[in-house]
Each structure stands twice: as structure tokens, then as C-alpha cells.
Structure 1
């Protein structure tokens, strides 16, 4: 087809191809304006220029399937890459092969392995690796994506990540077309865009005259007026009016005045469809619902789609075209597909979906889409299939789709019990995915007429805890719900003696909702952090008998009081961590919290880092923020403090944006701990006061204990030992570990040091001995390290002190806790210098000073250097490298300082709110601040911003 006009668009595409570096470009315009024609032109020009062209089309039916669009786009590249990466036959250099990490990322994302789908960054890096491997053969590559508005969100996120990083990668271009009148996942991709508007009047006239030269004057004028420069309308309106003339045609066009142009064109296609036979229309409907011939490109189709047969009649009337490469019929335009679906009756659509469900029987999630639409009356087999697909989607990061499938499964359930159970499951997944309003409505539907159904209690309690920090009333309500379930017929512990020959109840056991209530009860008890609450919880667990799972006891023991109940759980936590891929994300986070309390979180952190972006991208905000907290805590323990600060600001931005009051203040508490160890006492105390003022009236002992710990550590950093001691004894009395105060054991070293420096040696010694006698060294590696350190600092003779200093510093896990180790070495050096002279003290003091410098703990480093000078050494003090803001970070910070929200900043800068949050959490530590309120003053102190990027 000859292209008329579009000189500006063609010039833009020509410049796009001439650019030496890789680029991405999004074409945006209304339906029928000619985006696909421009893509065809670009693909043809690229092929003539020697490019490898790979094409794909977004399919509306697959927009809820994670990574389905990416699979379609990359599939033509993957088979060749896979063969050569495994067994190269052309002697290419090793660097041109796909790495094992890249192949593993694709296998996980596309369901070829059991691992969790990688986060956006990991998968985006894998795609960049694949593209580099492909272009390393010497042939440039053009990726063309049509109907990008139908791409699934996970695929669009990866395409956006890749598109933003093509600069500097010559040989790769990405061209995407999206409708301007339809919400698109590319709306927030921050990629360069080219608007595609209507044809100029002269070009519209030329196009109409070229294709319909015989039109009468009146009809010609009306067509030009009504088409408004839309090329598809210019081509289709005259053909539709071919059987009419004069007034009849004019009346038809005027009758459509005010109707959106895509609707008018759909009316045209609907009229053609009405003239087709039932068999042909059924074929077209099945093809339309399955995305048949959706421009799969030159490679083989990644997943078999429906192949339309005996549809010559539809080709003849202009609804279909024959693809020249494959010879398969394809829809002339996406509006043809939507017209076919809209014109079909409900029975016709259900019949088509049944055929497609059978076609995709080997693909559970695709089959689930069609089963859900094909079934009207309750049918347990279909409901079970949908439930299974929902479980699979949940573990693959598709929580939103899982809620829809579970809701549909409930509608198709044959019994009231199954319906309620599936609605309760949908409510639970929705709650975990942070859709708390929908969770509550689903919970009420699961047990209409009552606010005290288990599902309703779960949904309401999540809201009360995480949004408002309500622990007292929430604890009472969950206890009552658990007691009702426990006492219901057939649920008493003495009814559970299944015996070895009885089958396990499996994942759908009737007590699953009880497990969830118990897990939430344990979380509420943890946040309450007081003795009475935990005792009531443990009493209730004891009455459940075998209804209380091993996991429940694991969480109840490690989250509550690790000193009294933590013995023996480390091995079991490590065993449970061996199969994280088979567990739901919320189960993984609970297990990781136990690992944190036992100081064995390190092995779980790589998994958390792999899946946290997936959880946040799919809306599972609660699990995602908890994962960020756990990553932050491990970074804090390992001395990766800059990374911990970035993680903390990211979590704070997300929690604040989502209205999670509890998570927001918990993040502030962790950032306060970080500021305290770094000696930023003013910042630490400001955050401490904010957390304490919010948490103490609500009875959230978990956070008030952290606030007291922050006060102790900040005072120690400042050398204010009396204040440090007062804060420390607010957590626990010397010589004891207050029951259910989880910070009591973690602040052992703080209390001992503060007591020693304030002349309370007997208190310090009593506390160190209590740690030994209580068995802290056997509970966790960190507690072993600081217990031996405390015993060494308070030893009554030099021999005992030397033995404990040696045991602390030689502990296998000592290097995992560099801050505590450096403090013990500093104390060791001071003691050795006083007893044995300067020479013997230099090694531990030097080790301590270097560690504090690496950690960027200047107050502690200054103390160590002072001791080194007393030992006759003048240590070197490294100057930290400056961290300037990028242009975009500076601009985002300026807008935030002006009072704009993340959403408003994103609208101004064409960024997503999440990207704005990311820029802010990177900018805050560079500016040395933690709140938006400090932005304006901080920006006035920094130098001029970096130059803006070239357009």
C-alpha cells in the first residue's frame, strides 16, 4: 500500500534508524490513525537495511498473564540463543554466549523451571544480555511491538527497563505502538514518544481519491468531514456506503455524528459480520478471543493459537487479510477483533471459550481464562481448575489475577462451603496484595450477614493493624475468632487423630483459615510486644493441640521471646528455608522474620532480593515492604549501611504512599537505628521521637523498644553514657532480660558499656553473667559474639578477659557483625593498653579504627583514633568521596521540596510515582536527610546540579 503524507513521522523514523546508539520510541495515536502502517514501513525499511526484525502484538486476552507478551516478543531469538549458548558451532567468543544466569532468568519467567520469576531488573538485564548476544553476530536488531496497550504489566515493565538502557548499545532499536485513548502500561515507562495525529486535509483528500476515485461529491465531502483525517475511516467509510447513494449515505453519516470514530468503524465491521454465515462467524470469534495471527514475527509462534479455517468469505469482505509470510488469515485491524466479540451473543462467546480451553489444556493459566468465561452453572471441576491456576499465579507473582480466578471459582462452586472457602481465599490473597477494601468486600461475601466470619476478621484485622497500628482490640477480636473455629463441630483437637494411614488434608485443608488467623495473631502479638499479650497467645496455642502447626509454634517462639523460647529453632528454620520456591510469599516473609530473630537471616536474603520487586510490581505491597525491612536489617547487620539507607528510604516512600502507618513508623525506627550507629544523633533522636509519639499511645511495644534502643545507641555514639544507661534500663533491668522484650538481648552490649562508663561495674558484670547463664551464646551467632564481648569487658581478671576476647573475635560468624566486632576490638585495645602497654594494643585498635572508617561511623572512629594516638600511632583518616545528585534526582527533590506529591511530580516529569520514589530514596542519603521537610534547606547547601541530559 502506498503511504500518503506522514512526512514528519517518516523523518522521525528515519532519524530513529540513523542514530548510532540503541533507542526506543513509542508511537501514540487513536485507533485507525495509522500506527500499524508506520510500524510496517519501519519493519520494511529496517529489513532492507539488513536488520533482523522481530514483531509481536499485544493480545487483550493475555493482558493478565505475567510475561506472556515478553515471551511472544523474544521467542524468535531464544531458540537460536539457547542452541548456541549450550553448544556453539561457529567458534564465537565466549563473551557472546548467554550466561547461565540469563538462561535461568528466562526459564523462571517463562515457566520452564520451578523458581520464582525474577524481578524486573534481573529479567531486564537478562534481556539486554540476549540482545547483546544477538547483535554480536554483526546484524542490527529491530523489535516491533504493536498494540502495546494490551501488553501484560510485567512484560511492559521489562520493556520499559530495557528501552531506557538501550543508549550506548548500538545495533538495537525498540519501536512500540499504543492507543492514545486506552490506558497503557507504557504510560509510565518514561520512553521517548512520537504522537501520531490525523492526516492533514490535503493528504486525507489524496488518500480518499486514491482508493475511492468514483465517490460522488456529496458523499466525498461527508466522508472527509466525518473521518477527520483518520486513514482507516477514510478507507472503510466509502466501502460501507458503496451500496447506498446520495441522501441515504448522507443520512447514515449524519446519524453517526457525535459518536467516537472507533465506534463508527466498529459499526461498519459489524454490518459486514452480519452478512457472514454462522460457521465463519464462529471461526472468527474463536480467533478473536485467542489473539489469532497476532503478528508473531518471523519465528515460530511461542504458544499455539487458534488457526481459523474456511474463512475466505471474511477475507473477501475485508475483515481478514492473508499474511504474506505465513499464509495464515489475520484480522485486518484490532477493531475487527473487538467488533466480532461485541457482536457475539453470550452463548456464542461461551461456546468459543470452551473450544479454546480445550486447545490450551496444557497451559493451566491460559486454560483458566477460557474456563472462567465458558462456564455458567456451578461446576466443581472447573472451579477446582481455576483455584489451582490461582495458586500457580500467586507463586509466580500474579496476585491480582489470582484474586479474579478465585472469585470466579467461588461463583462456580457447587456447595456453599466451597464457595465461602474460595471467597475467603480470594479475600486473603487480596489482603496480602494490599487490596484491603476488596479483601473486606470478598470477606463479607464469604459469610454474608456477619462481620465476624473468619475471612471478615482477617480482612478487618489486616486493615486495623497495618494501616492504624491497632493491636489491643485486634488481638481480642482474632482470639475470639480462633476460639470459635477451635470449638466448632469436628474441629476440636481430639477429632484430629488421623493416624498414619489417614491422608494429609493437603493445601485445601479446612483448617487453612485457622492457620492464617493464628499467623496474624502472632504478628499482632509481636507488634504489641508485651508479656500479657504473648501469654494469652501462647495459652490459646496450647489449647489448639494439633490444630497448631509447627510453623505456628516456630513463629510464636522466635517472634515472642527468643531468650526463653528460641532454643532449638535455628536448625528448623534453616530446614524450612531450603524450599522457598514452593512457598507463598507471605509464608516466606514470616519464616524470614524468625530467621532475623535468630540472626540467621543472611542465607534468605538473596531470595528476598530476587522476589521483592516482583511483589511490589504485582501489588503485593505488604509482603514487599516486609521483604524490604528484612533486607535492610541484614544490610544493617553486615555493615552495608549506605545500601541499608537506600532500602529504608524506598520502604518509607512506599509505606507512606500506601497509607501503611505501622510500616511507615517501623521503617523510621530502622532508619533511626542506622542514624544512631553512624553518630548522626540529631537525626536519630528526631526519628526516635516521631516513632515513640506514634507507637507508645497505641501500645506497640515492638516499636517503643526500638525507640529506647535508638536512644541508647545514639547516646553511646555521642559519649553521653548516663543517658545511654537510662535508655538501656528502660528496655530491661541489669542482670535480667525482661520477658517478651525482644530488644533486651539485642542491646546487651549497649547496657554493659553504658554501665561500665558510668561507674556501675557491678550492674555491667551482673548483666554479662545473666547473658551467659541464660544461654544466649547458644541461641544465635550475634548473641554469642556480644555475650563473650560483654563477659570480656566485665571480667574480674586478665586471664578471663583474654579468653572471652579471643572467643568473641574468633567466632565463625564474627565478621558478619562488623559494628559489634569493632566495638569489642576497641574495648579490647583499651584494656590491653592499660594492662600491657601501647605495643600490644595497636593491632585491635587499628582493626577497630579501620572497621569504623569502613562503616562510616565517625564518632566511633574518632574514639578509636584517640586510643591509637595514646598508643603512639597517628592513623590516616580517609576523606569520603562526595555523592552529587544527578540532574533528575535534583529536579525531583526540588519539586518535592515545593510541596508536590509523588503523583504530581510524576505527571510533570512523565515518570511513574514509583520512579519518583526511587529518585527520592537515592537523593535523601546524598543530602544527609530522612524527611521531605528537610529537603529545602538541604538543597540550598549543595552545589549546582549536574547538567541536564541532552535532548
Structure 2
């Protein structure tokens, strides 16, 4: 606002920095931060003019408070002018924008996926002409948009795209932690203030001039707006003699408030029709300054017949669209504040009709227009909350569901919606908010509602690991619903059932599970098909897991229709049957979205699942990083159960890697917390850490004692999820301590239990255990061959390498040293790639005993990188390039390029020869 005839007064230093920003080579981002009215918009205009002169394309957007709760509203506004370029993107990025722009259906993208797509779009748009993005009032951007803009802003180097953001000081926003460089815009100097005031208002009475300078304190907006207000007030020197301005009791009122009085006086002088137009525009988020050239979510309200407001300095005309826009954000906020409650409601009602095709905008305006309970408005808000949840905006969903409850016409509907809000709040990590919501629903003299039981039990479980009292609460609540004559499934019952199953999983107690089975059996068709999957997968997978894989695959066939917590629960079921890898890419894309404004609790479990799959497939460095991220997230939200759950997985990983001291520290931490609480799921994991650490160290007696603490040899303890997972551990420990009969008994028990039909990993380790314990050489050879050629071997390299190691040892004793070299070499190479020195040294020692001091196949395979070897293993297992790419987060083209380099290194010319090249290396190359 300090521009006079195109010149900026007192901004030489800022202009120099901004000129360098525009002319510098490469892309970059910059934040302008300053107080209200200090001149940020004028500087943004100046930069836009500079960029246009340098042949840049300039796109402008402005945050508005009315849209700060609408997910992706800011991003829609910013990217809409680039809409024509979207069809030129590759399929994956185009699908991302189809979802964001509403051109198609699909799973909402994560911050990272959307950010990468935005970078690709910007790069394409800037390929012909450099691009400048100007965001004013960024503090009012919605959280989702801020996350994406921050992601993009940190990655603009090297291109021809620049991002400039204006932020108001004193208003917190996500940009505060976006780690973007900043330029602070401060008040004008005394000299510059005088120059600006004198240029705009020459000949002022000296006393008025002095008073305005003192009041403005270098704020350009105040220097421009206060003089005409003083002169119109008609109190001139007399007022100045008392040290006050018209309409103020004194000078202690903050400057923005004083300016609102200035604008309020102008607004009050307008006719009713004009004020109505201004109010509708303000409530719908019409911008201040230059308007944007388009809006992705629909057209904002267009103010008409408002020339009177423009004449008195409240509105400007956008030069591109010809629409009225507010001269400054303070004008817009003053319009709203000076309107009566009734006037605001009437304006919202009109705006709800304007946006009748936009579920979320319509609902927000309807809610603001309502006075009394209105079921139609409540239903609209509920639909908006559902939309927000599916787009990863659970925080907005909580707010809208709460308002829907307030507007419900019956107590039953109010209670249901408050329960929904509490449930979503719990999933969003807002445990205190969830409890407040259900407490507000408990009427005096009434018993605790099912929704209140659900929330209190959820909080007690995840905050403190309380499995016993929560189980009693939830069982009783479900029984009450059943005995109350429920005839159809309902949301509260389904949530209680799923919570009961989660509690039972953590308890890992046979009695608890049997009670749950009996109760769920009595409910019959009231239990959803997905809940039946959880019942079978989360409890006793040995006895109930057959066929779960196919059911999970069917349930996850349409990810777009599933809420984040449904995807998470089904992911846990996939983990229990060892088919998690095929869903991991989606989980990784979803996590970033949910962590910020979505289902944070679901994101915690998703991170656990990602980590578990990384551990399974041998990406141990990545698993370590995922585990630490999970630990930070769970600790910051006080989810003590998830904190110790994460400690357990980090301990298991440390044990596999040979970091046994760290593993035992984590084991003790988990066991000390979980055992007194009866959290059997975690105590079993603690025993598994002890088993693995002892095996890694070669202390087989200790390993055996830890293993039989999970399950006795020859059986699989009911509802002990670690029992089948420690099959190979118990067998190896038993064999190395001379307990051959127990080892064989346990391997046969796995076969009789049908474990190979439950999961691919269990098939692999069952065949391995049978081979290790076989007394018949023919059976041993057959079982080792089954294990080593099983398609799952590539997905579980640690288990596969241990089986190869055992095979090599057996061959050395039965067929001689030369026969042992192949499996021992492959085992040693795998252990080295995984990064577990104790296991690698054990394999190398066996190789030395087999007559070679170095891994025999290293000369043949040394040229293969770890990534190339992994791709080769997966391809040998029968996966297509597309499937391998999804597993390793690479494009099919990149996978093909890797295989093109792998073939000559292995001396082969076709995919069909991969298996033999990897597992049947000629003897003359194994020396």
C-alpha cells in the first residue's frame, strides 16, 4: 500500500532482495512475513510486475479465512490455471490430479505423492516460460494445501519455478515449520513514513500530521487510511489537541482494530443492498487485491452493483476478470464483524444455494445459516464429514460431525453423531477431544452410552494398555445391544466389535478370545464380513487362517471406498497371513496424508505395517528409519501401547542385525511395561526378541528357552501369534542343543497344522524345518528344494538364507565340501546384503570348512548391486516388471533397465534362465 505512482517508498532493501529472487538462476521459494498493513501485498505486486517484465508467467492465489477448513481449497485455487497441462502428464500423476480436481474417483494421494505430481506439473508448465507462483495471506491456506506447498517449495531448486508466499505475523500456520527462507517486512522508517504521508496528503495541519505519524508507527496502510478518516470526522486540530482520533477513546487500541473502525465507518455509510453484496462476498472468501484467474472447486460469489463501495475505497476491480475484490483483507473481516448475526445467517443461506453442487461448501454455509435443529442441515454436514474423511481430513470431519450433532432434531441422532465425532477424533489422535465429545452426550441420570464405552475403552487401551477392564466394558456394551433386540448391523456395534477384536489381539489370551468368539457367534449377521476376517486373522491364524488371504484380497479390491481405519485393519490381517507386500505401496502413499490432518492412529499402525514388510523383505535400513519415525509419532500423541509396540519391532530388528545389547535393552523395556498389564501380544514379541538375539549370538540353549516360552515343541499355543512365526527359531535352537526329537516333532506339527496353506512365509519355513529335521536323505533333499525354490523365498530373504545355511551344513557332512559351497555362498551373500555380521560370519566359517575362504559366487555376482539382485530374485520368482516396480517403488521401465544390465552380468539372455543363474551357479565358478 506504500506505492505512489508505481514507486515503493522506503522499500529499497526489500526491492533489492526481491529483484535478485526473480532474476536468480534456478527455482526457489521465499516467504514475506510482516504485520497487517505493513505492505506485503504491495511487495508481492512489485515482484509480479518484475517477473512479468522478465517474461515469467505469473499465477496468483490468496488464502481466505472462509476456506481455511476446506481440504485442498488453497491448492485448487493455485493450480487451477494450470489445468490444461494435466492431460500431458504420465498416467500416475494424471490420476492424482483427477482425484484432487474432482475429474475422477480414486484413493486420495499422500502429501508426497501429490507434491511430486505438483512438481511435475509445474516443471511442465515452466518448460516454455519461467513460472512465478504468488501466494498472499498464506496463513489462511488450509492445512492440506500448506503441507503440499511446503513440500514443493523445498524442492524447487534446479528448475525455472519460483514460489513467493506472503504471511501475516502473529497468525500461526503450517508454513511456520515449512523450513522456507524468509524476508521480514518491517515498518517504514520515520523518514519514509513522512514521505509517504506527504505525497498522499500534502498540506496536512502539522498537529494532525504528527498525530497520524505517531498513530501509524510506520504502518503504510495506516498512513494511507487514517488521514481521510480524520478529515471526515470534522474534529481536526481540536481532536489532535487531546491526542486522539475520531471514534477512539485513546491510543492504546491495537492498530488493526483502529483500522477496522476506519473501514467500519465507511461500510456503515453504504446502502443496505451494497452491504449485503459485500457480506456475501466476504463470507464466501472473495479475495483481496488481484483475484485469481479461476477456481477449481467452483465459482465464488460475484459481487454486483457495488460501485458505491469501490468509490469509498473498500473495493477494487480485478483487471483480469473485471470482478470486484476487497481492497485489503481487513476490509473483508470488518464487513463480517459489522454485520448482525441475522444478516450473516441470511448471507450463508444464499451462499449454500450458490454452492449446492459442492458437498462440503454447501454444508458449511448451511450450518452457519441454521438457528434451530435441522435434520436436513445435519445430514448435509454428515455427508461433508464423510467426504473429508475419505480425503484424509479427519480434523475437519470431527468439527463438522460435532456441528451436525448440535443441529440434530432427535436425541438418538445427536448421540449417534457425537459418537461418530468421538470415534473419528480418536482415530485422529485427539484422545482428549474424543472423551469430551462423549461426556457431552451423557445426560444426567442415564447410563453410559455405547459410544461413550467405545471411546473410554479405546483411550484406556491405547493410552495405558488396559486390556482387562476394557474387554469387560466392551463385552458388556455389545451384549446390551444384542439383548436390546438389535436386528440390523449398525456403526456403533461394528466399532465395538472391532475394538473387542483389537483388545483380544493385544491380550493374546485363549480365554479372552473364546469369550469373543462366543459373543460374536451369537450376533450372527450383525457382524460385518470384514470383522469376521479380523476375527480369524488376528486371533489364531494357525487354526483359522486358511483362506484369509483370499478374503483380504477381495475386501481390499476397491480401496477408494474404504476409510483409512478399514484399510489399516485389513492390512493387519494381511500381515498375519504374510501377504502384506502387495499392499505396502498404498500404505506408504496413505501414511503421509493421514499423519497431518487425518487418521493419525491409523497412520501409526500403517507405519508398523510398512516397517514389518521392510523387515521381511530385507530392507533393514529403511525399516530402522520407519521405526524411528513411528516412535516419534506415537510418543508425541501419548499412545503408550503403540510406543512399546514400536520398541518391540525395533528390538526384533536389532536382534536380527546382531545388535544384541540394544535388542535386550528394548526387550526389557517392552516386557517390563507389558507383562504386568497382561498385554500378551507384546510379551510374546519380547520373548521373540530374546530368541532371535540368542540365535544371532549362537547361544542356542538360551534361544530354546525363550522359544518354548512362546509355545511348547510339537504344538502351537492357541492365540499365540508368535508361535508359528518362531517355528524356524525353535527348530534350529532344538537341533543345535541336541533336542532332535523335539525339533522333528515341531516340524511335523507345522505340517499337520497345514501351515503351508495359511501363508507363503509359513510354507517356506515349514519346508525348511522339515528339511532340517528329516532323517531320510531323500525327504531332506526334496524339502530343501521346495524351500529354496518356493516363490516366497525372494520375499523373505532372512529365512531363506538361514535355510540355505542349514542345507549347506548338511551337504558338507553328507556329500562333501564341494556340494556345500553353492547354498553356503548364497546364504553368506544374503546375510552380508542384509547387514547382519554374526550370521554372515557363521556362513563364512562354514565356507572355510567347505574349503574356500571367500564366498564362492562373489566373482560371478560381484557386479550385481543389491537392488539388481533383489529385482533378479523377484523376477526369478515369476513377478512381472509392473509387480516388481510396485513392490520396490520403481517404474516398470526402471525395472526393465535393471534387468537389461543383469542378464549379461549373469551370462544369460532370457528371463527364464534367471532361476538357474541365481541358484545353480556352475561349480567352476564356485571356487
Q: CA deviation at 1:42?
A: 0.7
Whether 2:487 is the aligned partner of 1:482: answer no
One of 739, 743, 748 as aligned partner of 1:760: 739
Structure 1 distance, partners of 2:45, 2:699, is 72
The residue number in structure 1 matching 2:681 is: 702
Contact 2:293 2:321 in 1 (8 A): no
Deviations 1:844-869 (A, max 9, x none): 11111111111111111111111111
Q: CA deviation at 1:564?
A: 1.4
One of 149, 155, 159 as aligned partner of 1:159: 149
Deviations 1:874-923 (A, max 9, x none): 22599x9xxxxxxxxxxxxxxxxxxxxxxxxxxxxxxxxxxxxxxxxxxx
Contact 2:77 2:294 in 1 (8 A): no
Matches within 5 A, 1:211-250: 211-243=200-232, 244=234, 245-248=236-239, 250=243
Structure 2 distance, partners of 1:775, 1:251, is 89
Contact 1:58 1:147 in 2 (8 A): yes
Contact 1:387 1:406 in 2 (8 A): yes
The residue number in structure 2 matching 1:280 is: 274
The residue number in structure 1 matching 2:158 is: 168
Q: CA deviation at 1:451?
A: 6.6
Structure 1 distance, partners of 2:287, 2:143, is 22
Q: CA deviation at 1:580?
A: 1.6
Q: CA deviation at 1:235?
A: 0.6
Whether 2:683 is the aligned partner of 1:717: answer no
Report the 3-state secondary structure (helix = DSSP H, G, I; strand = E; otherwise coil) of the residue aligned with 1:851.
helix
Report the 3-state secondary structure (helix = DSSP H, G, I; strand = E; otherwise coil) of the residue aligned with 2:440.
helix
Q: CA deviation at 1:352?
A: 0.6
Whether 2:134 is the aligned partner of 1:144: answer yes
Whether 2:88 is the aligned partner of 1:100: answer no
Whether 2:657 is the aligned partner of 1:678: answer yes
Report the 3-state secondary structure (helix = DSSP H, G, I; strand = E; otherwise coil) of the residue aligned with 1:246.
helix
Contact 1:28 1:194 in 2 (8 A): yes
Q: CA deviation at 1:594?
A: 0.7
Matches within 5 A, 1:582-621: 582-621=561-600
Q: CA deviation at 1:714?
A: 0.8
Deviations 1:475-527 (A, max 9, x none): 11111111111111x31xxx45xxxxxxxxxxxx6x21011011001101100
Structure 1, 808-817 or 787-796: larger mean CA deviation: 808-817
After superposition, the Cα gap between the structure-2 partners of 1:568 and 1:325, relative to the gap in structure 1 and judged at 3 Å, is closer
Whether 2:318 is the aligned partner of 1:313: answer no
Count of residue pairs brought into register by the alignment = 847
Structure 1 distance, partners of 2:224, 2:447, is 59
Matches within 5 A, 1:526-925: 526-875=505-854
Contact 1:451 1:457 in 2 (8 A): no
Whether 2:234 is the aligned partner of 1:255: answer no
The root-mean-square deviation of aligned C-alpha atoms, in Å, is 1.6
The residue number in structure 2 matching 1:344 is: 339
Q: CA deviation at 1:109?
A: 2.7
Q: CA deviation at 1:99?
A: 2.1
Q: CA deviation at 1:703?
A: 0.4
The residue number in structure 2 matching 1:55 is: 60
Structure 1 distance, partners of 2:291, 2:855, is 62
Structure 1 distance, partners of 2:598, 2:179, is 20
Report the 3-state secondary structure (helix = DSSP H, G, I; strand = E; otherwise coil) of the residue aligned with 1:177.
strand
Whether 2:188 is the aligned partner of 1:199: answer yes
Q: CA deviation at 1:128?
A: 1.3
Deviations 1:381-436 (A, max 9, x none): 11111111111100101111111111111111111111111111111111111111
Report the 3-state secondary structure (helix = DSSP H, G, I; strand = E; otherwise coil) of the residue aligned with 1:537.
helix
Matches within 5 A, 1:92-491: 98-137=89-128, 139-169=129-159, 171-243=160-232, 244=234, 245-248=236-239, 250-252=243-245, 255-294=249-288, 299-302=293-296, 303-449=298-444, 452-488=448-484, 490-491=485-486
Structure 1 distance, partners of 2:380, 2:776, is 71
Contact 1:29 1:180 in 2 (8 A): yes
Report the 3-state secondary structure (helix = DSSP H, G, I; strand = E; otherwise coil) of the residue aligned with 1:145.
strand
In structure 2, the gaps of 5 or more residues are 863-927
Q: CA deviation at 1:256?
A: 3.7
Deviations 1:330-382 (A, max 9, x none): 11100000000000111111111111111111111111111110111122111
Contact 1:67 1:110 in 2 (8 A): no
Contact 1:383 1:410 in 2 (8 A): yes
Structure 1 distance, partners of 2:288, 2:605, is 40
Report the 3-state secondary structure (helix = DSSP H, G, I; strand = E; otherwise coil) of the residue aligned with 1:252.
coil
Structure 2 distance, partners of 1:710, 1:806, is 29
Q: CA deviation at 1:657?
A: 1.8
The residue number in structure 2 matching 1:936 is: none
Deviations 1:684-733 (A, max 9, x none): 11111111111111110000001111111111111100000000011111
Structure 1 distance, partners of 2:319, 2:541, is 70
Q: CA deviation at 1:448?
A: 2.4
Structure 2 distance, partners of 1:562, 1:531, is 13
Structure 2 distance, partners of 1:406, 1:298, is 31
Whether 2:86 is the aligned partner of 1:82: answer yes
Structure 1 distance, partners of 2:524, 2:96, is 43
The alignment's TM-score, normalised by the length of structure 2, stands at 0.90
Report the 3-state secondary structure (helix = DSSP H, G, I; strand = E; otherwise coil) of the residue aligned with 1:578.
coil
Deviations 1:38-60 (A, max 9, x none): 11111111111111111000011
Q: CA deviation at 1:298?
A: 6.5
Q: CA deviation at 1:873?
A: 2.1
Q: CA deviation at 1:296?
A: 6.7
Contact 1:56 1:295 in 2 (8 A): no
After superposition, the Cα gap between the structure-2 partners of 1:256 and 1:620, relative to the gap in structure 1 and judged at 3 Å, is farther
Contact 1:293 1:329 in 2 (8 A): no
Report the 3-state secondary structure (helix = DSSP H, G, I; strand = E; otherwise coil) of the residue aligned with 1:167.
coil
Q: CA deviation at 1:293?
A: 4.4
Structure 1 distance, partners of 2:403, 2:181, is 39
Report the 3-state secondary structure (helix = DSSP H, G, I; strand = E; otherwise coil) of the residue aligned with 2:320.
coil
Structure 2 distance, partners of 1:649, 1:404, is 31
Contact 2:112 2:589 in 1 (8 A): no
Q: CA deviation at 1:167?
A: 2.2
After superposition, the Cα gap between the structure-2 partners of 1:297 and 1:850, relative to the gap in structure 1 and judged at 3 Å, is farther
Q: CA deviation at 1:82?
A: 3.0
The alignment's TM-score, normalised by the length of structure 1, stands at 0.87
The residue number in structure 1 matching 2:907 is: none
Structure 1 distance, partners of 2:795, 2:839, is 19
Report the 3-state secondary structure (helix = DSSP H, G, I; strand = E; otherwise coil) of the residue aligned with 2:613.
helix
Structure 2 distance, partners of 1:462, 1:620, is 14
Q: CA deviation at 1:619?
A: 4.8
Q: CA deviation at 1:110?
A: 3.0
Report the 3-state secondary structure (helix = DSSP H, G, I; strand = E; otherwise coil) of the residue aligned with 2:466.
coil
Structure 2 distance, partners of 1:129, 1:328, is 32
